[in-house]
Each structure stands twice: as structure tokens, then as C-alpha cells.
Structure 1
Amino acid sequence: MEPRLPWPLPQRLQVPRLSIRRRLSALSGGACRPTTWRHQPIALLCYFMSVSTIQQLTNRVALYRSVPTRLLSRAWGRLNGVELPNWLRRPVYTLYIWKFGVNMQEAAVEDLDHYRNLGEFFRRRLKPAVRPLCTSCCLTSPADGMILHFGRVKNSEVEQVKGVTYSLESFLGPQRSQSNEPSSSFSDLLLSSPENDLFHVVVYLSPGDYHGFHSPTDWRVELRRHFPGSLMSVSPSVAHWIKGLFCFNERVVLTGQWQHGFFSLTAVGATNVGSIRVYFDRELHTNTPHYSKGTFFDRSYVDQVLKVAGEGCVASLNKGGVVLHKGEAVGEFNLGSTIVLLFEAPKDFSFNLQPGQRIRVGEGLCSL
């Protein structure tokens, strides 16, 4: 004999829907009456799980920030410089190519035996024809990588990934006003015209990408600002749970002017990025053993007259700064990292991009 149910079957099927709806409503509102906890075990469990998750996330961030990433990155940099025997080069590089999806057909030298160490392989050059320059767009991609975020700067806050912001002032450092009028926000200090707005775009370079970065437009670099700092990973997964990640990490900020006003290109360091090189600035040294938290070092290129040349770069310094042309090689990372462009443009400026889109050096970024 089948057991009898305490109530008719149709009624039994209808009760949970109403009960679950009430419980979800109570949870979403964030308020539950103490007298009802013993009647709502599911809500009680969800509450303790949410508190535990927040605590674990906080501890996770604190633990990760305590890791000596600068020391590890310097050690990795030394390891990259160790010359590999000929018999070991091909297996090591083949494994790396398979793991990170490297396209060696684009490399200027495809023969794996040519690269004496991992550092040379990471910094491999490309064939000139594989990165055609978009001539119809005033702004092109400075690097190979993935578009993390882009858009208009609002309230002097910039998004490193969707929903996670950081302070523009913390990222760029203090600025001098371009006008005598008092500014209502930090963004106003950068704008040369009230008819313009500030925009930004973030390009993430994965370990398998080409590690050089190029000038995205014709512009003049007036100042280099170097922020020593941490070298945490800048992968999208980490950028989602560490607010202000780009402000904590070591970075090199190049600022100056382009046809619409203020323009900046920032190379953000990351774990295992033992160095950030700027070809026309031989005085720049990154990831040094000692630094003071919160400090930065400036070098002005204004009022200097000389010629400088680097690997793949011939930049001229005049009394107005370093003149760079669109597509010109500017520098390189050791392994992957991030490039952040912050610039002034007319209010009708618009990007021709999608979040998560793969992009390559020289491809157009906008429709202006």
C-alpha cells in the first residue's frame, strides 16, 4: 500500500513556489526578522555563506598582496636570461607555444634554435608586413592583446574592468592645471578645452602575445613618470577582485599632447614582468630591489635637444618633447602586461570596439 500524503498532491506542489518567493524576497531586501530564522534554514545558510565568502575574499586579497611578487619577478627575469643548450631550446619553446597559442609564423625569426634564452623568445620581433597600420583612423591599437574596457571617463574614475574602478589621480599622479580657473575635478586639470572629454581604453597582453608596444597616434611626449610598486597579475580574473590594481602595480606613464589635447600612454607592470623598457629613455630602470611606497620619479623631455635611438625606434627630442609617429615602436615588456591609454578628444568621439575583443598593433580603435 502506498503511503498517504499529508495533503492533496496539487496543493503540495503549489506551496514551495510561494515559500521560495518569500525567502528570496527577504534575502534580496537584506533584512530578515530574528524570530523567523528558525523557520528559514535556507535563508540562514545563505546568510552565513555570504559572510564567509566576503571574509575569504578579503583574506585572499590580503594574502596575495603580501606575496613578494617583485622578488619573484626579478628571479624570473634572471632565469629568462640563462642561456639554454641547443638540445633543450626547441622542446621548451614548443611547450610554451602550445600552452599560450603563440603564432610563430608572424615572428621575424621562426627558427626556435635562434633564441638563446626565454627572454629573447618573449621579446621576439615581428615581420613588418604582419601588422599593417590603419591610415584612416587617428587612433590605433598600441599593442596586441584583448580589450578589457573602454569608454568615457566619469567623475575622475576609470574602470579597469566592468564594475571595478580606480582613481584617475592615483593612477596618473598630481597634475598642474592648464588654466588659471579653479577646477571642479581632477579631470578638468587635464582638459585643454571645455568642448572635449576624457576617454580611456585598456589593452591586456597575455603571455602568448607579442610584447612590444607602439605609438597609437602622432603625438609629443613631454613627461615620463615612473611609479615603483607591486607586480601583481593583471589578468582579467585578478582585475575583477582587486580594486585599484593598476594603481598598486609598478607603471611607466608617458604624458604629452596630441591633436586634440592631453594624451597619455601607461605601461603597467605585472608578475614576472621583470622590466618595462622605453627605447628612447635609457635612464629608466624598473623593478629595482628597493623603493618607497607611494613615491614616483619624473623625467621631463621638454627643453632638451638631442637624438636618441633604440631597438626599432628612432625618436627625436626637441624643445617640445619626444616626437612619436603612429605605429612607431616605443618599448617592450618582459612577458605580458597591460597598456592604458587616457586622452582628450571631442565629445562626439566614439570607439569602434567590443569588450573582450582581440586586437593587434595598428588596428583602428575609433570612428573619429
Structure 2
Amino acid sequence: MCKATKLPVTTSLRPRRWLSIPRFSIKRRLSQFPRHALRFHSWQMLKPLAYAGLRPTSKAVYSRAPTRLLSRLWGLLNTVILPLWLRKPLLALYVWAFSVNMQEAEEEDLKQYRNLGELFRRQLKPSVRPIASHKVVSPADGRILHFGRVRNSQVEQVKGLTYSLESFFGPQDWRDADHNGVKVDDRALFQKQLGLHKGNRLYHCVIYLAPGDYHRFHSPTDWYIHHRRHFPGALMSVNPGIAHWITGLFCQNERVVLAGEWQYGFFSLTAVGATNVGSIRIYCDQELHTNCARHVKGRYHDYSYTEQCRPAGIFMGKGASLGEFNLGSTIVLIFEGPRHFNFTVAGGRKIRVGEALGSL
């Protein structure tokens, strides 16, 4: 006599979901790959050149790539209004790929963002970025690349590579005189042209914004902005890996230098463009237009806030909204301070808007 076979107690007969095909699950397939293999870097757009034998990983080819044109095209693509049914799946892919924290966004519903550009420039809830009481705070979400004193007018780009303040700022011919009212001749040291006070030192801090970071930047302290200088230039990636390749990368890329004064003397904030950054916008400056075809590399464009706005310049309170990028890039702070100024950050550390950079 045959014994009846009993079914396992854990077995349950559940109806299959309609059109459920788990073996073709995209999420399951992608989870089998290391996360770093799924990340997209700006230099990967040059891979097709390898088929033509141009070795896109070489410095010469990368530095001659049409990054300005590609960035303008990407900027136009970001302004295309997406149909409502496509917004959530497409934008959710970006949110997932770059680990964007949408819970911090003032608008969490992806359907309310008409295109990728609006998602890049999303505004945050005011409560998620409290402003520290320290004198200098972070102007952006990102990662600290370098910080410290500026020595001999040289600023560190990456370990072993530096660039000069003269190349980064350009000639200071817009300054009529130093703080003592005595004109500085062309042979004077560059730091004297900046009008540094006796006994003070010059400091720098570089913050790298990744594609998933919050893309607006804020005022790092209470200061007056006197002058804006726009350098049209290349739009090479500012990723630390690329920065090891290109000497003076920040001096070659398109950038907007805001210079002025704070309580202790000279203060500047520079927004450096990068690949796929369609524009750099300064909220208080409607005359600024970056990454335009009519601009010529190697020249710069000055704009005086003391002449066009008010004699004292434009006041920016600590934490106030200052501008925005269209994609990840870099903020460079170079400022004068007392000898006892100390940075409270560590290299390679993630930082957010409003967190302390240094104290007195």
C-alpha cells in the first residue's frame, strides 16, 4: 500500500502576479554588479574614440575633446520638458544611480520636476541645513578636497600639483589702490595686489560637488562682493581622478570669480565649471551668461558691483542663497584671515551647507 505524500507545511498556493517575470528583473540583474561598475563618469563619453584608435585616456585627447559643445548640448537636453508619465521612472533612475536624498528636497514628488535640470537645481527644506555659528561655513554640499594656507601664491590642486593665484584670478588691474591708498605697481607681489593686511595669512578650501549632491551654493560668511570676473574656458571633469592628469585644471576650466571683503580683509568664492555643467548662475547677477558659443577662451569679462549696484558692493549674509550649478562641479574659497584661524575639517570628508569650515 502506498503511503500518501504530505506537502510541507510551509508551502502555500498563492496566485501569481499578472505578468510577473522575476527572472528578467532589472533590479535583480543590476544588483549582481559592483556598485562602482554602474557609476557614470564624464570621461566615459570619450570611450567611442577608442574604436578610432585615438586612446581617449590620454591627456592630449581628453584636453582637446569638445567638452564645451557637449556641455551646451547636455544643457539643452536638461531643459526639455518631459511628459508627465515619463518623469517619475526617468528621474527615479537618476535618483537611484547617484543616491540622491529626496527626503531633504522641498518638493519630494518627482512628477513635479519638469526636466532633469529642475531636479539638479532642487531646493531643500530650510530645516535640513542649519547654519553654524562659526565665522566661515561650507557654501555647498560636497567633499573637501584640499584646505590650508596659501604659500608663495601657490594653491594645491591635488597632491604634487599646484597652480598659481595669478593664473587663477588673473591680473588685479580692477583694483585702483591697496588699503593704504597707495597704488601697487606691476612688480609688486601678487598677494600685495590683493591688499592683504599686515600680519594676516591667506587660506584656501576646495569643495567638490558630485552629481548626486545638492547643486545650489550659499554664502560662506558675512561679506561684501565687489567684483565678478568670468573666465570662459574648457569644461573638463573636475573629478579628483582627472585632476591628477591635468596641470592647472581649475585655471583652464570655465569659472566665475567673486571677490570682495569680509571682517578680516580679502575674501573670494570661485565657482568652477565642469563637463556637462550647462551654466553657472549667480542670483544677484543677471548680466552673467556662462558657456556661451560667443565667448572666447583665453579672455575674461569683468563686472563691478561697486559701480553698477552700490559703492559698498553687494552684501551677502552667511548662509544666504548665492547661486547654482547645472551639475556637479567645484567651489574654491580663497580668503584672508588672522594667524589664529584654524580649519575644523578633514580632507576627503563629506560636508554640507552650513557646517563649520573654520574657527577663530
TM-score normalised by structure 1 residue count: 0.79
- Name the CA distance, whole Å, in 2 between partners of 1:253 and 1:240: 23
| The structure with more radius of gyration | 1
Identity of aligned residues (%): 62
Match among 337, 342, 345 for residue 353 of structure 1: 345
| Change beyond 3 A, Cα 1:212–1:59 | closer
Contact 2:224 2:260 in 1 (8 A): yes
Is 1:367 matched with 2:359?
Answer: yes
5+ unaligned residues in a row in structure 2: which ranges?
1-53
| Change beyond 3 A, Cα 1:91–1:128 | same
Matched with 2:328 is: 336
Contact 2:234 2:297 in 1 (8 A): no
CA-CA distance at 1:367 after TM superposition? 2.2
More helix by share: 1
Matched with 1:73 is: 71
CA-CA distance at 1:164 after TM superposition? 1.4
TM-score normalised by structure 2 residue count: 0.80
CA-CA distance at 1:237 after TM superposition? 0.6
Moved over 6 A (4+): 56-59
Match among 165, 168, 171 for residue 168 of structure 1: 165
5+ unaligned residues in a row in structure 1: which ranges?
1-55, 305-316
Match among 288, 291, 295 for residue 291 of structure 1: 295
Matches for 1:198-209 after TM superposition, within 5 Å: 198-209=202-213
Is 1:142 matched with 2:139?
Answer: yes
Which string of whole-angstrom CA distances, capped at 9 and with x for unpartnered residues, describes residues 137-192 of structure 1? 00000000000100100111101222211111110011145144667531222143
| Change beyond 3 A, Cα 1:186–1:59 | farther
Match among 268, 279, 294 for residue 275 of structure 1: 279
Aligned residues: 300
Contact 2:231 2:297 in 1 (8 A): no
Give, as a single letter, the amino acid of the residue that structure 2 aligns with 1:163: G
Give, as a single letter, the amino acid of the residue that structure 1 aligns with 2:137: T
3-state SS in 2 of match to 1:241: coil
CA-CA distance at 1:59 after TM superposition? 7.8
3-state SS in 2 of match to 1:323: strand
Contact 2:56 2:62 in 1 (8 A): no
Which string of whole-angstrom CA distances, capped at 9 and with x for unpartnered residues, describes residues 203-262 of structure 1? 000000000000000000000000000000001111111110000000000000000000
- Name the CA distance, whole Å, in 1 between partners of 2:89 and 2:268: 40
- Name the CA distance, whole Å, in 2 between partners of 1:278 and 1:129: 23
Contact 2:184 2:193 in 1 (8 A): no
Q: RMSD value over aligned CA atoms?
A: 1.7
- Name the CA distance, whole Å, in 2 between partners of 1:133 and 1:221: 20
3-state SS in 1 of match to 2:75: helix
